[in-house]
A = this chain, B = another copy of it.
Amino acid sequence: MLELRLVQGSLLKKVLEAVKDLVNDANFDCSSTGFSLQAMDSSHVALVSLLLRSEGFEHYRCDRNLSMGMNLGNMSKMLKCAGNDDIITIKADDGSDTVTFMFESPTQDKIADFEMKLMDIDSEHLGIPDAEYHSIVRMPSGEFSRICKDLSSIGDTVLISVTKEGVKFSTAGDIGTANIVLRQNTTVDKPEDAIVIEMNEPVSLSFALRYMNSFTKATPLSETVTISLSSELPVVVEYKVAEMGYIRYYLAPKIEEEEDTKP
């Protein structure tokens, strides 16, 4: 028996928006710790890892560990039927092949329940080792989103370079090149607006903008985003989910190509 009651239902709606473009089907894993998901994107290049800790739910009952395979597109369709102020409850009976989403309006005038079929999904749950990162950049999520969008109109790869000067996002394409430099800035009105660069060692890595732009679908979840970089390691793009967890995207850097012009 599983029953998870989330007062701020809009969080779950936003989480699905942030995942469904990247992953079609995935297992949600429920344990006493929390509600989590880990999946490769459909082209098997990026990895998404979501955690919503049990403490973040108003009520969290999970009698035994459960892995529920869901089609995220269908799940998202159903969650779109919840109001942004609704309380969302996820229910499943042990051994059932369905899951029920219940939406309660704040006034309790309206109570909706949506039942969805579960599916069997093979999933290799990868252990993600903790790592030391050479550089960690924290910045407003909207700004990061804007940068990725802007750069993708010029090129399809972003080179992220962190030096003591700041962080530079660069791209190049047929029509020209672009460089966007952000300097550390912690003297801001709101702490969310800060740009914090923790550089242990300079790094310079290239990533496919296509994936970065998918990651920024999580922007509505958090005012800030954290980008952790190490050479030879996948970048981690992390958005906190209000007091209850996170959504993390992993993407391997592009292998450094030879200079454009070869002899």
> Within the complex, which residue of B81, B151, B178 is in contact with A113, where a contact is CB–CB below 8 Å?
B178
Assess the B182–A109 pair: CB atoms within 8 A: yes
Residues of B within 8 A of A178 (CB): 78, 81, 112-115
Residues of A in contact, count (CB < 8 Å):
36
This chain's copy number in the assembly: 2
Assess the A81–B150 pair: CB atoms within 8 A: yes
A113-132 vs B: 1/0 string, CB under 8 Å? 11111000000000000000
Q: How far is the CB of A159 from chain B (nearest CB, A)?
A: 14
Q: How far is the CB of A251 from chain B (nearest CB, A)?
A: 22
Asked whether any CB of chain B lies closer than 8 Å to the CB of A143, the reply is: yes
Asked whether any CB of chain B lies closer than 8 Å to the CB of A96, the reply is: no
CA distance in complex: A151, B113 (Å): 11
Residues of B within 8 A of A1 (CB): none
Given A77-B153, A80-B153, A153-B77, are A143 and B110 neighbors across the interface (CB < 8 Å)? yes
Q: Which A positions have Cβ atoms within 8 angstroms of B?
A: 71, 74, 77-78, 80-81, 83, 98, 107-117, 143, 146, 150-151, 153-154, 175-183, 185, 195
